[in-house]
Structure 1
Amino acid sequence: KIGNISNKGEMDKETEGSNFLKTLFLDDDKRDLYVQTWGGTNTTARALKSIEDQYKNTDQWETIRKKVSDKLVLYIILDQDDSYNKYIAKNWPDIRIINDQSNFWHFAYAWKMHTEKVNSKLHGEWNFKNIKDGHGKLLSMYALMGDGNIIKGELPEEQRGTDAYLKKNPQYNKYDFISEGDSPSFFYLINN
């Protein structure tokens, strides 16, 4: 679903994405709902604002507010707009928040700064042998540095699968790991 993407932090308009979230926030599923926000919280904020607009001046407001607050867990990576601080934190203070300002970097652009013990499975030789080559269709599509994969919609200068990218970024070798800064939000959901 497409959310609030017209401007950084824009949460004025209801969108397909914000309406989808609103429906999930209000459903009767009692389980925790983890909302992963990787760029900014504005689509989530718009969904919450729509709920507030609909119920705030009704007898149902406190019940609805508690239901939504008890259900949601927001996992925020680098909080890249101000909608959390300006709206969610002030108007929905009981929602559980995991504000990840550091784990992002361990999987993103700074991964080469780790020890070799950590990085041993991120270098090209290991990746090619254990992931890319001969492990089925899905893993053959896994994007690695200079592997020839072109990612649709990615800016030309960010096409890390190209030889041109490797030439401009000599710190990487062919088949090295491509940073996945948002992975921590997914890993949090895995029972380890």
Structure 2
Amino acid sequence: MNRQLSFIASAFVIVAGIVPLVRADNSSTVSDKPRIITTTDLGADPDDEQSLVRLLVSANEFEMEGLIVATGCWKKSQADTKMLDKIVDAYGECVDNLRVHAEGYPSLEYLRSISVMGQTGYGMSDVGEGKDSPGSDMIIASVDKDDPRPVWVGCWGGANNVAQAIWKVRATRTQAELESFLSKMRVFDILGQDDAGAWIAKNFPDLFYIRATGVYGWQPSDENLDNHIQNHGPLGAVYPDRKWATEGDTPAFMHVYPNGLNDPDKVDQGGWGGRFSTTKIAGIRSMKPVTNEGDFDPYLMYGNTSEGSKAIKRWSDAYDNDFAARMDWTITSQRSDANHHPIAVLNGDRTRRVLDISATPGGTVDLNADGSSDPDNDALTYAWSFYEEPSSYDGEVKIQGDSDLSASVAIPSAAAGKTLHIILEVHDDGEPRLYAYRRVIIQVEAAK
């Protein structure tokens, strides 16, 4: 079957090949995995191919519901899915090995079923009556599922697949139905690469829309990629050398990567995909070839905080080693030949959720990582730190036992009515060293 049309045949089996999560008590539950759709302007720059390799070796962490070939200001037309198919097929050569090392990797057949063409033309010129595509239909079908989790659409090129989906829903449903649809969608736009993003933000101001511009400066070195990525089997072979910047699109899925570090809906918390202002910003412009966004002023989007890519770079050891370890998984069917991630437990909680705790000014909060473990029985190292940037309190915070299994946070009297974000970082001593995180937000009561 032509993969451009495969969505029609697969719309009703879109969750096939995904292994559901199970609670610690072994009871079945709705998966906690983030639901993602990726739209990519493959062929515009090698960085899309690079980001796809990292995404696919991380595929067990997500429920991937669409891989859509898209256009953008550097690639204004698309004709087929051949570049996407090549990378997906390389994944197919590795998936059996990957499944030795972690549960939840989708089958090759499933990924082929969600690899489709999106809008073949550029920007808003390819949005409107009669412009539906397998990609825009896939977005609608995904958001329409009876699933309480939002759908994160990563726009690695232009955003006109999202625009066409929204246009169709607005044209065919009631206002209430449109609002319900939009409430389940999240858009993570890399740099803005057509005029559709501005059109969306202008006409649907309540839509959760991030435009990330701080996407350069966090990337691994060329030497790192040579040594740990590109020489690793079929997926390493389809990870090209950079032409400009490396993996500029990766923050779109790193933001929702479920590593215990952040809640993606709380954009100011900060994680592997960056940190963003909680107040939408007017006029975040697209890349230079997009010249007509002023026609949509004012439009509002969530944008990067002043830290820019430094908010990503602070976690570089963890995400570089995560990628390297996963590439190791692709080339060995022996579990003992590779390293695997530790599990961080915070105050008895074994999930990856951010925890909230209340405290009184001048008091203490006791935290512990008891129960944390490593599947390879590696030794674990613990680090507790105050993450100042997302905290509303900006003074000094003392943590007793900041490298121990248990720690005690001294709550400053001046922190009354403020929040303190505390990060637990656990890493093993394997090769490469792998990390797990937990975050607790301490809400300090107001002074009485």
Q: Normalising TM by the smaller chain, what interval? A: 0.5 to 0.7
Which of 81, 84, 93 is matched with 2:205 structurally? 93
**Partner of residue 257, structure 2:** 190
Q: CA deviation at 1:144?
A: 4.8
Q: Distance in 2 between matches of 1:182 and 1:28?
A: 29
1:78 aligns with 2:191: yes
1:23 aligns with 2:127: no
Larger Cα-atom Rg: 2
Aligned amino acid, residue 11 of structure 1: V
- How many pairs align? 141
Q: CA deviation at 1:69?
A: 2.2
Aligned amino acid, residue 83 of structure 1: A
Q: Distance in 2 between matches of 1:47 and 1:25?
A: 10
Which of 222, 236, 245 is matched with 1:123 structurally? 222
Structure whose residues are more often helix by fraction:
1
CA deviation digits over 1:58-85, x for unaligned, max 9? xxx31x1232222111000111111122
Which of 149, 163, 172 is matched with 1:45 structurally? 163
Distance 1:71 1:132, change over 3 A: same
**Partner of residue 7, structure 1:** 122
Q: Is the 8 A contact 2:160 2:197 kept in 1?
A: yes
Distance 1:127 1:50, change over 3 A: closer
**Partner of residue 81, structure 2:** none
Q: Is the 8 A contact 1:106 1:181 kept in 2?
A: no
Distance 1:123 1:15, change over 3 A: closer
Q: Distance in 2 between matches of 1:127 and 1:43?
A: 32
Percent sequence identity is 26
**Partner of residue 141, structure 1:** 237
Question: RMSD of aligned C-alpha atoms?
Answer: 2.4
Q: Secondary structure at the match of 2:186?
A: strand
Structure whose residues are more often strand by fraction:
2
Distance 1:32 1:122, change over 3 A: same
Q: Is the 8 A contact 2:191 2:212 kept in 1?
A: yes
Distance 1:21 1:127, change over 3 A: closer
Q: Is the 8 A contact 2:189 2:212 kept in 1?
A: yes
Q: CA deviation at 1:39?
A: 1.1
Map 1:146-161 onto structure 2 (within 5 A).
none
Q: Distance in 1 between matches of 2:248 and 2:183?
A: 28
Q: Is the 8 A contact 2:143 2:150 kept in 1?
A: no
Q: CA deviation at 1:189?
A: 1.9
Q: Secondary structure at the match of 1:191?
A: coil
Aligned amino acid, residue 183 of structure 1: T
Q: Distance in 2 between matches of 1:15 and 1:7?
A: 13
Q: Distance in 2 between matches of 1:19 and 1:38?
A: 18
Aligned amino acid, residue 127 of structure 2: M
1:106 aligns with 2:217: yes
CA deviation digits over 1:103-144, x for unaligned, max 9? 2x235xxx6xxxxxxxxx5132x43333344x5x24542525
Q: CA deviation at 1:5?
A: 2.2
1:35 aligns with 2:191: no
1:179 aligns with 2:246: yes
Distance 1:55 1:132, change over 3 A: closer
Q: Distance in 1 between matches of 2:227 and 2:187?
A: 37
Aligned amino acid, residue 106 of structure 1: G
Distance 1:90 1:131, change over 3 A: closer
Q: Secondary structure at the match of 1:19?
A: helix
